[in-house]
Structure 1
Amino acid sequence: MTKYARDEFDKVPETSSRQGVHRVASDAPRRRLGPILAVGVLALAIGLVAFLFLPKLGFAPTGSPLLAAGSAQESPSASASAEAPQTASQSAEPSADPSTTPSAGEALPTTGTPSTAPEDDAPAVDKSQPVAVYNGTTTAGLAGRVSNTVSADGWTLGPVGNWGGTPQKSSVIYYNGAEQKANAEALGELLNITSLVDSAEFQQPVVVVLGPGFQ
């Protein structure tokens, strides 16, 4: 009995099952370890059998030391077979025939025609080019005498007079450009002057400067 008055919640039918928040605590399900242990033991047994007996039967996984050893043993034979065709090809090459080899005294045949330097490229002597004659000595009338010699040889005369430039140590023939070189050489042979100088200083194509010692 309680000191509080009974209310509607205290009226519980006697024939009905108990209802409310109170429940009978059920036992938690227990995991069975037997099947898990059995599977683990079976996997371990299979691994041991594969590790111990399969190599003896000739089965080895890829990348195992057995395959590596087998490939190492087969590599010398493979290299020997690869070298065999090369040796055969080298032995099959024909040796040089001594009968076809030219001796030291025989001349080897040459192909083509030998190249010759063209002679027509040299400029021809053009005596129509004016030739200036200057006297660079103290001998009076030397320029006039030499100009007569040049004119008598067929050359066209240019200015004739005394030399007013730098004193010359010897006779010189100046020519203006490569096209006048042949004219300078011809005049050098005529006057016995060996010093020829290419110079663009003069307006004349060829200039003969008579120096000391000219004969």
Structure 2
Amino acid sequence: MTKYARDEFDRVPETSSRQGVHRVASESSRRRLGPILAVGVVALAIGLVAFLFLPKLGITPSGSPLMAAGSALSSPSASAETPQGTASPGAEPSADPGAVPSASETPSAGSPPSEVPSAEAQAVDKSQAVAVYNGTTTAGLAGRVSSTVAGEGWTLGPVGNWGGMPQQSSVIYYSGAEQKANAEALGELLNITSLVDSAEFQQPVVVVLGPGFQ
């Protein structure tokens, strides 16, 4: 017993149902949290079942990561789907290593390679004027040789004595490469081997008879 006198705060009805404010608040909070926890447990259980058992049954929810990964693995890339031998748009066709060259590219067997016609193979033009000069002391030599040249069908040019520098041997002068074939033909006819390309003469071919000409 206390030594203090009792007051109005000590008068508590014995039949009152109140047990304290803190106890009432604790009971109400437990009542509110119970349904929330139950719903969370049920949702977690449903998620585990869907994650573990549905893929084994072949059921995959649309838009799920598993479906996206499966579609990425099952669909090959566009480059792998392109058939071999089909050129993609804008790409140049590659050369076929097994292609057989055409007849124009394959040289025929036994055919000689094409060559540029040489001066010897050029046609002889006997219509070109041939001048004949005597560079020796033998009288009438130029006339005799010019008769031989004309007898072979050549066109004669000037015929006379040589007025230039003394010659050591007989020479045939020709003007340009186009007259070389004519000079060679005359050299074979007159047995003259010295041929000189010169632009000093106005005649296409000039035959100068030197000492020792036979």
What TM-score results when the alignment is normalised by the length of structure 1?
Answer: 0.47
What TM-score results when the alignment is normalised by the length of structure 2?
Answer: 0.47
